[in-house]
Amino acid sequence: MATKKQVLRLKYDITSKDYDAIYAEEQLEKYTVSIKHIDIHNKVLDCGCGTALFIEFLKSIGKLYNMNYYLCLDLSLGMLRQAKQRISRLGLGFLVELVEADAEYLPLRDESIDSSVSFTVINLLEDRIKGIRELQRVTRGCVLVSILKLAENLDTTSLRFGKYIGETSKDKIFLKCNNG
Cα(13)–Cα(77) distance, integer angstroms? 6
pLDDT digits (tens, 9 = 90+) for 6-59: 999 999 999 999 999 999 999 999 999 999 999 899 999 999 999 999 999 999
pLDDT digits (tens, 9 = 90+) for 109-129: 999 999 999 999 998 999 989
* Domains in the chain with CATH codes: 4-177 (3.40.50.150)
**pLDDT at res. 160:** 58
Residue 112 and residue 135 in contact, taking contact as beta carbons nearer than 8 Å: no
**pLDDT at res. 156:** 46
In angstroms, the Cα distances linking 56 to 3, 82, 166 are 32, 13, 22
**pLDDT at res. 162:** 84
Residue 62, classified by CB atoms within 10 Å of its CB into exposed (0-12), middle (13-18) or buried (19+), is exposed
